[in-house]
């Protein structure tokens, strides 16, 4: 009997060699995932333990905090999760027609109930970034590459590219892409071998079971974000077309099973989504169109080689010139990564997968340039490719700048394929004194280091008045009545009342808020918030300018009429930039207020009746 060691063969009569304890097979994967989670925690560090801070796009964070709090409230109270009157009282909000992220809010209900909406939001951001990276890592590891390091690098790009960081600090529905790899894995599942297509067992395994799973994932994605699903469907279609052109024989072999899975998934999803989608388009407070000019949100061609704000080389000036706003820096890949991608495509061009990926990436990069090409902040007058599809259903409502997000996984997969290929080639080849793996690893590192993200920027925000946070308002607000926060903002801006409502677990109903709704009872045209009431316009102007207007008796009568419309019980003023001007204006409208911990309050129950 013999035992093989690293240097010799020994007999059983020699002194025994201690058995080397094998490393668990799951440990390397766990370390990769832990690294992703750790990076996501660092990027969100600006808010952990800081309740008085929000990420830079504060209004968007408040919106999603409220949506997470609303989902938890609906679970606990057994309420309709698709509609709520806790906001925009008395008319309510069609949550299915807004970015309600129920697919995140419902699973995070325990976190929201135990730790509050801010912690739930931060946990959601961590799950979106690290979860997306992990999902792509798993897909790459199982299907496309053999080297764990290649999959880890690909997942890192897919989860933490500049566009993902920009969306993660504001738009949960866009950053939550962890279902995308799973959906693609089922759509492009390896089909049966030649001659097996008609076998019932093979058909069941390759069509029915994955088709049902795909349908359920599609339903979940709809409740996270329909926009990502729309982009995914378009990208998968472009990729499939490119792959079919590159390898027609494989396309013909796999097409029957693929189409079968899609048919099964469509039936499953249609049954589950029939009522929610009806509610979205025909339920209370539904709307048509968009509340903003989506076509105006496009990217500058120069943005693809620039550095985003939240990277080690980024600044505020250039990204502000090349992108519509800080949340839409979806294309800032830097010159190194793009050059690397071109080299990879040329090197691996013979692979149908690479050709399909390259075609898909180019198409969506061009679409992100919008209806008119801009370079370095200057309009060139050259029509953008988006004009060709801008009038198509769904695409007419899409934000062109977000098409560039499709390029993120394209680049991640290309880099992963190259790293995996180099590891194979590098075992037998060298270039003047340096292993191929070391040389290519240096090139990948040089391309990615400028894209290293920095923590998402946070800004201070006025806290919830203690009078509201502690519940001292409760004895003063009868059932069916509302709390009006000043100013009663109803448009696309940071809404104090939404923050107060979210942080108190939707403890009270309130008018106003930041959402998309109809322009009026008989006009379904989309607009931000509810139609403005005269008093809301007046107080918002005072809050913005600090100028106290001269009021008339007509203004005072209008204020009472608006309070009746809102079914107000209390009017509360928290901390504002021009809070003294707002206080003086409200006292002129309603009479003296009462100072409370954290602000001022006016009891208007006797006025409203």
pLDDT tens readout for residues 114-151? 999 999 999 999 999 999 999 999 999 999 999 999 99
Q: What is the mean pLDDT of residues 398-413?
A: 96
User: Is 2 among the domain residues?
Assistant: no
Rg (CA), the chain: 28
52 and 197 assigned to the same domain: yes
Concatenated DSSP letters for 54-76? Answer: EESSHHHHHHHHHHHHHHHHHHH
User: Is 1 among the domain residues?
Assistant: no
Q: What is the mean pLDDT of residues 520-542?
A: 91
157 and 183 assigned to the same domain: yes
Distance CA 465, CA 539 (A): 19
Write the pLDDT tens digit of every residue in 561-592: 999 999 999 999 999 999 999 999 999 999 99
Please give the sequence-ordered ranges of beta strands (E in DSSP) within 321-456, or none if there are none. 372-375, 378-383, 430-431, 434-435
Per-residue model confidence (pLDDT) at position 43? 97
Q: What is the mean pLDDT of residues 245-265?
A: 92
User: Is 424 among the domain residues?
Assistant: yes
Last residue of a domain, one of 422, 451, 480: 451
For 29-56, b where at least 16 C-beta lie within 10 A, e where not — what string?
beebbeebbebbbebbebbeeeeebbbb
Q: Residue 112 pLDDT more than 90?
A: yes
Distance CA 566, CA 532 (A): 12
User: Is 515 among the domain residues?
Assistant: yes
β-strand 482-486 against 568-573: which pairing, if any?
parallel
415 and 529 assigned to the same domain: no
Distance of CA 399 to the CA centre of its chain: 14
| 260, 211 Cβ separation under 8 angstroms | yes
* Lowest mean pLDDT across 203-207, 277-281, 415-419: 203-207
* Lowest mean pLDDT across 20-24, 291-295, 325-329: 20-24
User: Is 550 among the domain residues?
Assistant: yes
471 and 421 assigned to the same domain: no
User: Is 190 among the domain residues?
Assistant: yes
Q: Residue 16 pLDDT more than 90?
A: no
* Lowest mean pLDDT across 255-259, 282-286, 466-470: 255-259
* Cis amide leading into 92 (omega within 30): no
273 and 179 assigned to the same domain: yes
Q: Residue 8 pLDDT more than 60?
A: no
* Structural domain that includes position 201: 28-80+98-282
Q: What is the mean pLDDT of residues 296-300?
A: 89
> In a 3-state reduction of DSSP, which class is residue 521?
coil
Last residue of a domain, one of 395, 419, 451: 451
SS3 per residue for 235-267: HHHHHHHHHHHHCHHHHHHHHHHHHHHHHHHHH
What percent of the chain stands above pLDDT 70?
A: 92
Per-residue model confidence (pLDDT) at position 14? 44
Please report the sign of the dihedral spanned by the C-alpha atoms of residue 405, residue 410, residue 415, residue 417.
Answer: positive
Phi–psi pair at 524, nearest 5 degrees: -80, 5
475 and 588 assigned to the same domain: yes
205 and 317 assigned to the same domain: no
Q: What is the mean pLDDT of residues 158-163?
A: 97
User: Is 219 among the domain residues?
Assistant: yes
335 and 416 assigned to the same domain: yes
| 409, 158 Cβ separation under 8 angstroms | yes
Per-residue model confidence (pLDDT) at position 205? 76
Q: Residue 467 pLDDT more than 60?
A: yes
Q: What is the mean pLDDT of residues 32-61?
A: 94
∠602-604-608 over CA atoms, to 5°? 160
Q: Which of 37, 97, 110, 40 is nearest to 68 (CA)?
A: 110
Last residue of a domain, one of 221, 249, 282: 282
276 and 318 assigned to the same domain: no
Per-residue model confidence (pLDDT) at position 321? 83
Give the sheet arrangement for strand 599-603, strand by strand. Answer: 482-486, 568-573, 599-603, 594-596
pTM over 0.85: yes
| Cα–Cα distance list, 595 to 283, 392, 509, 584, 592 (Å) | 41, 55, 22, 13, 10
- At a CB cut-off of 8 Å and minimum separation 6, what does 355 contact? 242, 243, 245, 246, 345, 349
173 and 276 assigned to the same domain: yes
Structural domains counted in the chain:
3
447 and 506 assigned to the same domain: no
User: Is 374 among the domain residues?
Assistant: yes
Concatenated DSSP letters for 157-220? Answer: HHHHSHHHHHHHTT-HHHH--TTHHHHHHHHT---PPTT-TT-HHHHIIIIIHHHHHHHHHHHH
Q: Residue 157 pLDDT more than 60?
A: yes
| 137, 35 Cβ separation under 8 angstroms | no
356 and 243 assigned to the same domain: no
Phi–psi pair at 578, nearest 5 degrees: -115, 45
Per-residue model confidence (pLDDT) at position 539? 94
Report the length, in residues, of the chain.
609
Per-residue model confidence (pLDDT) at position 7? 38
């Amino acid at each position: 009997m013999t035992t093989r060691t690293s240097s010799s063969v020994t007999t059983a009569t020699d002194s025994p060699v201690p058995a080397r304890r094998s490393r668990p097979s799951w440990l390397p994967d766990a370390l990769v995932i832990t690294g992703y989670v750790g990076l996501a925690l660092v990027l969100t560090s600006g808010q952990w333990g800081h309740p008085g801070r929000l990420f830079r796009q504060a209004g968007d964070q408040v919106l999603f905090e409220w949506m997470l709090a609303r989902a938890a409230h609906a679970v606990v109270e057994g309420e309709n999760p698709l509609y709520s009157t806790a906001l925009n009282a008395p008319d309510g909000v069609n949550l299915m027609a807004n970015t309600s992220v129920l697919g995140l809010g419902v699973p995070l209900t325990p976190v929201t109930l135990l730790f509050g909406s801010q912690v739930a939001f931060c946990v959601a951001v961590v799950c979106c970034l690290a979860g997306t990276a992990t999902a792509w890592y798993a897909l790459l590891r199982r299907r496309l590459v053999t080297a764990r390091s290649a999959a880890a690098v690909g997942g890192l790009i897919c989860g933490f590219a500049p566009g993902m960081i920009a969306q993660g600090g504001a738009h949960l529905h866009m950053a939550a892409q962890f279902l995308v790899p799973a959906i693609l894995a089922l759509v492009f599942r390896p089909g049966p071998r030649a001659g097996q297509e008609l076998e019932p067992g093979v058909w069941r395994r390759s069509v029915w079971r994955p088709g049902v799973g795909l349908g359920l994932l599609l339903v979940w994605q709809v409740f996270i974000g329909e926009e990502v699903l729309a982009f995914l469907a378009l990208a998968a279609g472009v990729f499939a077309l490119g792959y079919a052109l590159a390898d027609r024989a494989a396309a013909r072999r796999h097409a029957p099973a693929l189409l079968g899975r899609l048919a099964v998934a469509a039936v499953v999803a249609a049954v589950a989504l029939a009522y929610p989608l009806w509610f979205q388009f025909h339920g209370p407070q539904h709307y048509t169109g968009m509340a903003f000019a989506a076509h105006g949100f496009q990217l500058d061609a120069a943005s693809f080689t620039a550095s985003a704000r939240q990277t080690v080389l980024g600044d505020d000036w250039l990204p502000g010139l090349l992108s519509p706003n800080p949340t839409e820096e979806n294309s800032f890949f830097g010159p190194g990564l793009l050059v690397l991608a071109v080299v990879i495509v040329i090197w691996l061009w013979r692979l149908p997968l690479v050709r399909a990926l390259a075609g898909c990436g180019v198409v969506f990069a061009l679409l992100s340039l919008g209806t008119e090409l801009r370079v370095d902040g200057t309009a060139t007058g050259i029509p953008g490719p988006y004009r060709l599809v801008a009038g198509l259903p769904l695409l007419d409502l899409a934000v062109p700048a977000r098409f560039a997000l499709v390029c993120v996984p394209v680049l991640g997969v290309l880099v992963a394929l190259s790293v995996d290929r180099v590891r194979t080639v590098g075992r037998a080849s060298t270039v003047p004194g340096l292993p191929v793996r070391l040389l290519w690893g240096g090139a990948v590192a040089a391309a990615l280091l400028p894209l290293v993200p920095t923590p998402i920027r946070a800004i201070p925000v006025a806290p919830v008045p203690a009078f509201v946070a502690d519940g001292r308002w409760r004895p003063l607000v009868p059932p069916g009545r509302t709390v009006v926060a000043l100013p009663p903002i109803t448009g696309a801006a940071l809404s104090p009342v939404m923050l107060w409502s979210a942080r108190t677990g939707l403890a009270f109903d309130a008018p106003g808020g930041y959402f998309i709704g109809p322009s009026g009872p008989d006009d379904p045209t989309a607009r931000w918030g509810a139609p403005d009431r005269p008093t809301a316009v007046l107080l918002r102007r005072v809050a913005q300018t600090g100028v106290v207007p001269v009021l008339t008796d007509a203004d005072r009568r209008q204020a009472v009429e608006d309070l009746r419309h809102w079914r107000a019980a209390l009017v509360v003023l928290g901390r504002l930039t021009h809070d003294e001007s707002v206080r003086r204006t409200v006292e002129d409208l309603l009479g003296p207020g009462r100072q409370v911990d954290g602000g001022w309050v006016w009891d208007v129950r006797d006025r409203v009746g």
